[in-house]
């Protein structure tokens, strides 16, 4: 592990994931890795519940982390990887809150209401995993905008106090390649800095997944109905 991301989600973390991988610090762990590797959710939940996790085994294939759930454990990761640098992604607090409300928080609320969570164990684990964010980090008060922004700002200040200055970069993706490459000691690419996963893109992707899940649920209902029909004939 060479780079530990300490910034909250919706601070350009998916763009950072792709930027770090382009610079040779990949694979980079992001929440999308949990979605692509369903078994990972249980490991994060277990750690959040206080059970031990062998980080070097769990993250052995990764050179960097960004986003949740990794940022929740940045202090622990710093101890496990004492030579790793820490990247604190930041954003205007008001814009961060608006973005998080319209994307990851909205998706979480949709997950809690989805009947699919009763049929798919992965969705149950993901719901438990999101509690690391919404219950542990925000104490269940994310909808209180002032409180959520205060948590966001306090986290940034805590990271600044905790991480030695020579080991820390406070970074806004709007700054582009130069400060990131200087911090990591690598050449600046000739290609534009990645710009990914804006609110419109995120919402569109979630709606597409919801349509797919609704189709799956309809299929399950039909199969159950047919099964009962033939069983009762």
Who wins on pLDDT, 211 or 110?
A: 110
Q: What percent of the chain has pLDDT over 90?
A: 67
Domain spans in the chain, listed from the N-terminal domain onward: 3-232
Most confident of 42-51, 84-93, 132-141: 84-93
pLDDT given for residue 233 in this prediction: 44
Q: What is the mean pLDDT of residues 48-77?
A: 96
The answer to whether residue 221 scores a pLDDT higher than 70 is: no
User: How confident is residue 133, by pLDDT bands cut at 50, 70 and 90?
Assistant: confident
CATH level 3 topology of 3-232: Rossmann fold (3.40.50)
Mean pLDDT of the chain, nearest integer = 84
| pLDDT higher than threshold 60 for residue 65 | yes
Alpha helices by DSSP H, listed for the chain, are: 13-22, 31-36, 39-48, 55-58, 74-80, 93-100, 106-113, 121-131, 145-162, 177-184, 199-232
User: DSSP readout, 70-113?
Assistant: GGGGHHHHHHH-TT-EEEEE---HHHHHHHHIIIIIHHHHHHHH
- The whole-model pTM stands at 0.81
* Cβ atoms of 148 and 10 closer than 8 Å: no
- Asked if the model's pLDDT at residue 16 lies above 80, the reply is yes
Tokens 């509690």 identify what position?
A: 131
SS3 171: strand
Which pLDDT does position 128 carry in this prediction?
79
Higher pLDDT: 102 or 129? It is: 102
pLDDT at 99 over 50: yes
pLDDT recorded at residue 228: 40
Please compute the mean of the pLDDT values over residues 123-139 and round it to a whole number: 83
Per-residue confidence band for 108, with pLDDT thresholds at 50, 70 and 90? confident
Q: What is the pLDDT of residues 158-175, one digit of tens each?
A: 999 999 999 999 999 999
Mean pLDDT of 111-138: 70
Q: Which of 31, 39, 44, 41 has the alpha carbon at shortest distance from 107?
A: 31
């Amino acid at each position: 592990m060479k780079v530990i991301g300490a910034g909250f989600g919706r601070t350009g973390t998916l763009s950072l994931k792709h930027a770090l991988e382009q610079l040779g610090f990949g694979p980079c762990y992001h929440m999308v890795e949990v979605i692509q590797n369903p078994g990972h959710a249980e490991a994060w939940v277990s750690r959040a519940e206080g059970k031990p996790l062998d980080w070097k085994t769990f993250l052995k294939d990764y050179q960097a982390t960004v986003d949740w759930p990794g940022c929740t454990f940045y202090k622990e990761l710093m101890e496990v990887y004492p030579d790793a640098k820490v990247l604190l992604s930041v954003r205007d607090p008001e814009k961060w809150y608006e973005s998080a409300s319209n994307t990851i928080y909205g998706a979480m609320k949709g997950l809690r209401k989805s009947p699919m969570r009763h049929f798919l164990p992965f969705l149950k684990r993901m719901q438990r995993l999101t509690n690391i964010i919404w219950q542990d980090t925000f104490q269940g008060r994310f909808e209180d905008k002032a409180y959520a922004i205060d948590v966001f700002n306090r986290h940034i200040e805590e990271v600044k106090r905790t991480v030695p200055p020579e080991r820390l970069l406070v970074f806004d993706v709007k700054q582009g390649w130069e400060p990131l490459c200087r911090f990591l000691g690598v050449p600046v690419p000739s290609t534009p800095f990645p710009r990914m996963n804006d609110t419109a893109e995120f919402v569109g992707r979630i709606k597409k997944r919801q349509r797919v899940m609704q189709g799956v649920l309809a299929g399950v209902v039909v199969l159950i109905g047919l099964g009962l029909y033939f069983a009762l004939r």
